[in-house]
A and B are shown apart, each in its own frame.
Chain A
Amino acid sequence: MTETLAQRAVFESTGSITRRANELFTTYQQEIYRSTDRLFAGLMAFQWIAGIVFALLVSPLAWAGSESSTHLHVWAAIVLGGSISLFPALLGIFRPGRLSTRVTISVAQMLMGALLIHLTGGRIETHFHVFGSLAFLAFYRDWRVLVPATIVVALDHLLRGIFWPQSVYGVVVASQWRWLEHAAWVVF
């Protein structure tokens, strides 16, 4: 069977459309990655400041009788919060669009949740930060960022559940499988 000129034109046209569609897809995907990276750069800074403000409002000073000193939570909010937030925020600004930036941001976002949960004494309400973070991470429309985020949450709950359950669940004795329940909700 010989190919007619009309058929060849159709094939070439289809191939060209597919290539163009792929180009547009990649362009829009990169735009989404880059704009979401920039969004997270701002969010990282906001969360860092919010953690410090929270610590300053709720537990500014540690007292011993009539003497006071800066509360450990304030230092944790400044130093730990900064260590977690600063690097991914800079990546979001200076290296947007890369997979390594997205993965770093997703890990940092969940670590920030862990810090906030600790600063609030393991309040169950602060765990909502994890689900809010998942919603933000979904802006990337890239399932790969959810993998490290879920691993961080599962590991954080597993290790703190073993060594310091009060810090993460607000109770002294937690079931050895409770981390799995929390991680399962994250996966869901």
Chain B
Amino acid sequence: MLAHPQCTCTRASLGELAEALARTRERPKTYVVFLKPEGFSDEWVRTDLWRTAAALPDVTVVADDDGAEAHTFGAATSGQTLLYDAAGSLVFYGGLTGARGHPGDNAGRTTLLASLTEGKNAGAPTSVFGCPLFADGARK
């Protein structure tokens, strides 16, 4: 999951990620990658969202210097989640909430769970609700 450390909507995305991981028998290797724009301090990145993500079992939290990883994965919105299978194929791409900052059942989490538990390819991406990872014009 690519995330903005200051985005309050992402609290719901992390909650949905936690819910999805809790329902899987074999947890995937999971990374939550927090944006760290150039010139911003570590304290700016290490918010309660960082701590929440770090507290999830088997989840690795990393800082994304100037959004390099977000650019690589084509993520534009906080909460963008990608799932790759063992062969390295992308099987899920999208968000895990149904609206900004609103937790609860939604198409994104259901689709991710189906991909995780049944190995289904999600097909069409689900909508991502969160703060933009880059200001207008800042996306490379």
Q: Which residues of A contact B (CB under 8 A)?
A: 58-68, 71, 121-123, 164, 166-167, 169-173
Contact = CB atoms under 8 A, between A and B. Distances in A.
A76 B6 CA distance: 20
Interface on chain A toward B: helix, strand, loop, or mixed SS?
loop
Give the size category of B's interface with A.
Answer: 20 to 34
Contact of A171 (B40, B105, B135, B136): B105
Given A166-B99, A167-B99, A66 B105 contact: no
Given A62-B131, A64-B134, A66-B37, A172 B8 contact: no
Nearest to A59: B8
Interface of B: 4, 6-9, 12, 35, 37, 39-40, 67, 78, 98-99, 101-107, 131-136, 138
B98 A65 contact: no
B105 A172 contact: yes
Contacts of A65: 4, 35, 37, 67, 132-135, 138
Given A164-B99, A169-B104, A170-B103, 8 more contacts: A65-B132, A65-B138, A66-B138, A121-B12, A123-B103, A166-B98, A170-B102, A172-B106
Contact of A167 (B35, B102, B134): B102
B6 A63 contact: yes
A121 B102 contact: yes
Which of A61, A64, A65, A172 has its CB near the most chain B CB atoms (within 10 A)?
A65
Given A71-B8, A121-B12, A166-B98, A171 B132 contact: no
27 contacts: A58-B8, A59-B8, A59-B9, A59-B101, A61-B6, A61-B8, A63-B4, A63-B78, A63-B131, A63-B132, A64-B134, A65-B4, A65-B135, A66-B39, A122-B102, A122-B104, A164-B99, A166-B98, A166-B99, A166-B102, A166-B104, A169-B104, A170-B102, A170-B103, A172-B105, A172-B106, A172-B107
Contacts of B104: 122, 166, 169-172
A169 B67 CA distance: 34
Nearest to A67: B135
Q: 5 shortest A-B CB distances, which residue pairs?
A: A170-B104, A59-B8, A66-B37, A65-B135, A172-B98
A50 to B, nearest CB: 18
Contacts of B78: 63
Contacts of B106: 166, 171-172
